[in-house]
Amino acid sequence: MSIGAKSVSGTGFDVERARADFPILQQKVHGKPLVYLDNAATTQKPRAVIDAISRYYEGTNSNVHRGVHYLSELATAEYESVREAARRFLNAADHKEIIFVRGTTEAINLVAQSYGRAHVGAGDEILITEMEHHSNIVPWQILCRERGAALRVAPINDAGELDLEKFSTLLGPKTKLVAVTHVSNALGTINPIRKIVEMAHGAGAPVLVDGAQAAPHLKVDVQGLGCDFYALSGHKIYGPTGIGVLYGKTALLEKMPPYQGGGDMIMSVTFEKTVYNRLPYKFEAGTPDIAGVIGLGAALNYLTYLGIEQIGAHEHEVVRYATSAVSAIPGVRLIGTAKEKAGVVSFTLGDVHPHDIGTILDREGVAIRTGHHCSQPVMQHFGVEATARASFALYNTKEEVDALVRAIEKVRKVFA
């Protein structure tokens, strides 16, 4: 394999063919070919997803679950078939364990407000980690403040790995829930979820996994992981924005009160009493994002067609190449050097502000993200305000890494 070779040999993944599926990638930015390396923020959409949404609005648009007419039945069947596709994608035991939400953020808020309010009281504890995204911190802070509970935080080491020993000492009879990310968006660290679940269950605490950054790169098997809740966002796995999935074990979901009230989540309503609908509809109040669900279904089909393991292997090779090329640039400090990583190369360059790095890279057609990545505690751990983050997807190539490196060299020249 030659460094920078066009087709990524060894993995057998045909990246050029995959790139042709993404219309947006064919354009130029500031006269340069677009190099899109902001995939942890959101991924681009393949033609199959764009077409599925148009097809729905052109031929099937109708409200779900309510009508007896032709279009409503078609829309309902398509909507529910995506629930089954999501069940398969996550290897959930039952399709009623799949709840459609707006995204990872809403999934976590749903669990905090429904499970949390029912099970967390004064003196109880919620255990998270230092590497969480704000959306896996703030909902628990809100809950803890409301209930008089305490938020405990398991620390990370200087490679950006969870300190499992300290984590285990923070688990105890007061721990009512553990909420942990599968893959860190700021560092790329892959957490040992199965081990974490074993430890938490040993202490009697259920586990919510934030899968926003794992689902695009790793095969997720919720039964294999043993977790109680798993959250993901459609837009990070090549689907539309505004749609996501919360997986929850039936036994827990059955006992949880509704998150929101309204249409569709009820069996019957009188002014005296409302009987809630069965799972999963109890948690899907109001008209859902039907087009979003259908777009998500097309994204899941697309990922299944390409093979998530093949995608992961290809990305792993590109990320490894990027890690060694970027870290060889004088002045670069990598933030996040865990042994197990996926998707992300986060770095600083001397005392150049990451926003300046991002702006100069943009002029070269290279789109990265700069800032705290909604993970300010991670930034505090590493003593930086912000990093520059290149994040990778199935369509990225080693040539694009070369373009990234050339652009960073330009930054160095500007600030020399």
Ligand X SMILES: Cc1ncc(COP(=O)(O)O)c(C=O)c1O
From residue 377 to residue 406, what is the string marking binding to ligand X with x (rule CB under 6 A)?
------------------------------
Binding of ligand X by 104 (CB under 6 A):
yes
> Cis bond leading into 33, ω under 30°?
no
Cβ closer to ligand X: 133 or 398?
A: 133
Residue 73 to residue 94: CA distance in whole angstroms: 22
Residue 332 to residue 327: CA distance in whole angstroms: 6
CB atoms within 10 A of CB 148: 11
Integer angstrom CA distances of residue 174 from 38, 127, 144: 39, 10, 13
**Ramachandran area for residue 220 (φ above 0: left; ψ -120 to 50: alpha; else beta):** beta
- Determine which residue in the list 181, 323, 346, 391 makes contact with ligand X, applying CB under 6 A: 181
Q: Is the dihedral of CA 151, 154, 157, 159 positive or negative?
A: negative
Of 86-94, 99-107, 293-301, 376-384, the segment contacting ligand X by CB under 6 A is: 99-107
Binding of ligand X by 233 (CB under 6 A):
yes
Q: Report yes or no: 216 and 98 within 8 Å, Cβ to Cβ.
A: no
Integer angstrom CA distances of residue 55 from 58, 239, 344: 5, 15, 34
Q: Report yes or no: 297 and 52 within 8 Å, Cβ to Cβ.
A: yes
Binding of ligand X by 135 (CB under 6 A):
yes
Of 26-34, 49-57, 101-109, 166-174, the segment contacting ligand X by CB under 6 A is: 101-109
Map residue 348 onto helix, strand or coil: strand
- What is the smallest separation between the CB atom of 178 and ligand X, expressed in angstroms? 15
Cβ closer to ligand X: 133 or 152?
A: 133
- What is the smallest separation between the CB atom of 210 and ligand X, expressed in angstroms? 5
- What is the smallest separation between the CB atom of 370 and ligand X, expressed in angstroms? 14
Which residue shows structure tokens 């200087």? Answer: 158
Q: Please tell me the count of residues contacting ligand X according to CB under 6 A.
A: 13
Cβ closer to ligand X: 129 or 397?
A: 129
- What is the smallest separation between the CB atom of 237 and ligand X, expressed in angstroms? 10
> Does 144 qualify as catalytic in the annotation?
no
- Determine which residue in the list 43, 76, 185, 391 makes contact with ligand X, applying CB under 6 A: 185
Active-site residue (options: 329, 374, 384, 412): 374
- What is the smallest separation between the CB atom of 388 and ligand X, expressed in angstroms? 16
Cβ closer to ligand X: 87 or 133?
A: 133
Structure tokens at 292: 């979003």
Structure tokens at 338: 């865990």
Cβ closer to ligand X: 4 or 371?
A: 371
Cβ closer to ligand X: 171 or 179?
A: 179
Q: Report yes or no: 203 and 226 within 8 Å, Cβ to Cβ.
A: no
**Nearest in space to 85 (alpha carbons), one of 100, 72, 103:** 100
Give the list of residues 6+ apart from residue 248 with CB closer than 8 angstroms, or none. 97, 99, 111, 228, 229, 256
Of 129-137, 155-163, 362-370, 380-388, the segment contacting ligand X by CB under 6 A is: 129-137
- What is the smallest separation between the CB atom of 103 and ligand X, expressed in angstroms? 3
Structure tokens at 265: 């989540």
Binding of ligand X by 103 (CB under 6 A):
yes
Binding residues vs ligand X (CB under 6 A): 40, 103-105, 133, 135-136, 181, 185, 210, 212-213, 233
Give the catalytic positions in this structure: 374
